[in-house]
Structure 1
């Protein structure tokens, strides 16, 4: 099997020496995404930021042949646990009845003082 690089034209550009994601077989692993639009604008309002990050991640998963329902795990890093309820609300709206596994931890700092960063593990539909 070949390790393939994934690129999404909908997600924000990588800010460092990494790619949007990788696909090996039917497994898709994304890099972390912060709430940055593809046009380079940061989003700080927590619900809008969460939705943007999840949409950016989903676009990478889709570039690898996956879909929302194929997302198995989401790792979320947040600046403040005070935002936990709002993140959960946006997360539930985004996924609906699909409930991927999740890790959510508070971290000391994120780039540009954004409120969260997240990544996904998903599977391509074959």
Structure 2
């Protein structure tokens, strides 16, 4: 993988699984999927789905920041994974409160299960040009 940089930060959760927190390729940053995990403890956070969504967005923003971007302002595409689409409205409210004036393109899907049995996970693509 020439012309790519692995992004590593203590401000987002890290583990021993074989993936990067983010990969910077040209002007594009690909951010791995994050659940509502506290980067200091490595534990899933407590709280309602809105609180969990905010933690997920904090984790994504931290990786974008580490790559030299401007947090969620540079995100151009997200994928939201929910274990229960009944959470969609609350997640949408929390997400909408955090994204800039022009929201990124987005996909939202319901999945059977997520790692750690969390209720929400997101990945992102950011443009850093």
Contact 1:27 1:124 (8 Å CA) reproduced:
yes
CA RMSD of aligned residues (A): 1.3
1:102 maps to which residue?
A: 106
Please identify, of 66-75 and 50-59, the stretch whose mean Cα deviation from structure 2 is larger.
66-75
Unaligned runs of 5+ in 2: none
2:51 is paired with a residue of what secondary structure?
Answer: helix
Contact 1:35 1:52 in 2 (8 A): yes
The one of 30, 46, 51 equivalent to 2:49 is 46
TM-score (norm 1): 0.93
Shift of 1:96: 4.1
Deviation of residue 85 (structure 1)? 0.3
Conserved? CA contact 1:22–1:28, under 8 Å: yes
Structure 1 stretches lacking a partner, 5+ long: none
Identify the residue that residue 127 of structure 2 maps to in structure 1: 123
CA contact (8 A) 2:73 2:100 kept: no
Structure 1: distance between partners of 2:78 and 2:84: 18
Aligned residue-pair number: 125
